A = this chain, B = another copy of it.
């Protein structure tokens, strides 16, 4: 990084907000993937003004800027692959407002997702999006990636809770989108264009988030099936009965065995699949719903259904699901976590294809995730130190993307494109889609300084 740029940066923010030592910069070279890229400088703005001035400087000097929150991303979106400036938003972490009258919160991008949830639940409200990393990931990152989570089945994803944004454009202008009303059709929907744009169109410096009343009650059940098809059939039948569960999580045989080896909690290691089903809402409704869920599962051949009697038992049922990521890496050190998504009815076919792909390339694959919305997480377990194996992983990944396409699915349900899936984006959106997206990018970022190399340039 040119010394001149560093000194200009010191005119924008204080000394302690700027890191230049290699050891410090190294710690911002990673996210939740295997991607790496060392930034030339790491800055921690504290105000929208500082973000805007930093971007104006970068735009003038044509220096790449990679915004990031907690760096838990699973598509490489925040990794500074071309060096430049790592723009870390974690110091802008205030919850500015929780408005119980209008069911909304105004937050800065660095607020940790779980912290917001706990804050609003204290006053009887609810912020549904629950990405797996919610204990550490930030709202800014959630918005940039349009994060999902298990509860997305009933409540939708981050996009569905963003009412308005303050965004700094790549040219350093401050843009305000949407606002504090649930309904807003004033001009183009820039709020949703920015949501999920993976830090390529602007830097979110403030967000107005929609909240909902906290559900009165939650009931949870775990059902064991001999086959994935049986589990998938139950998933479909539950919604046919007019029930929309909060979550409908699937674990396949490999996943079950990994978790059992890890926790020794007595999971049925001979089972083909386990469903973790949760319903929430009005007490009378959830009581009726969980009974129906149990009935449906038994009718469709569940070898066992357990309904949690209380919070403690509920926690116990969730323990298995929560342990998955930690458990599967016991098998092999490197986890390649995908999230190709298919229409729900195609889940059994997708699982069949995934297992065939794992076999074809002689790889270990654990399949789990959000069966209710077809958003599975096939995780390939490998060892990055074994180049021959990693080559097979690459072939398998491309094949699973193509399988998702063939089943009318999508490359990514919630992890985003980033750098990991950029080469495959044209597969799904086509040449016209690429042209339109690149046109929008160029209109907002003429010098292509914001997250260059991500999403649109594989």
Contact = CB atoms under 8 A, between A and B. Distances in A.
Contact of A146 (B185, B439, B440): B185
Interface in A270-312: 281-282, 284-285, 287-289
Contacts of A239: 103, 213
Interface in A304-333: none
Contacts of A156: 160
A176 interface: yes
A130 interface: no
A436 B175 contact: yes
Interface in A412-430: 412-417, 421, 425, 428-430
Given A103-B239, A433-B175, A433-B177, A183 B160 contact: no
Interface stretch (A84-92, A109-117, A257-265, A337-345): A337-345
A188 B196 contact: yes
A212 interface: yes
Contact of A216 (B182, B242, B417, B442): B242
Contacts of A153: 182
Nearest to A159: B189
B455 A444 contact: no
Interface string A344-363: 11000000000000000000
Contacts of A201: 188
A201 B187 CA distance: 12
Interface in A177-212: 177, 179-190, 192-193, 195-197, 201, 212
Contacts of A379: none
A22 interface: no
Interface residues of A, number: 93
Q: How many copies does the complex hold?
A: 2
Contacts of A243: 213
Nearest to A173: B432
A408 interface: yes
Interface string A106-124: 0000000000000000001
A443 interface: yes
A231 interface: no
Given A169-B432, A432-B175, A181 B409 contact: yes
Contacts of A214: 242
A288 to B, nearest CB: 6
A434 to B, nearest CB: 8
A255 to B, nearest CB: 20
Contact of A160 (B146, B160, B413, B432): B160
A364 B236 CA distance: 54
Contacts of A100: 240
B197 A188 contact: yes
Nearest to A289: B282
A152 interface: yes
Contacts of A102: 343-345
Contacts of A421: 186
A83 interface: no
Given A160-B160, A190-B437, A196-B189, A179 B409 contact: yes
Given A176-B433, A188-B437, A190-B433, 4 more contacts: A173-B435, A183-B374, A214-B242, A439-B443
Closest 9 CB pairs of A and B: A284-B284, A439-B443, A183-B413, A101-B345, A282-B285, A192-B192, A285-B285, A213-B242, A102-B343
24 contacts: A99-B345, A101-B345, A103-B239, A152-B183, A173-B432, A173-B435, A175-B433, A176-B432, A182-B373, A183-B374, A184-B410, A185-B413, A185-B417, A186-B412, A186-B429, A187-B455, A189-B193, A190-B433, A192-B192, A192-B193, A213-B242, A213-B244, A282-B288, A436-B444
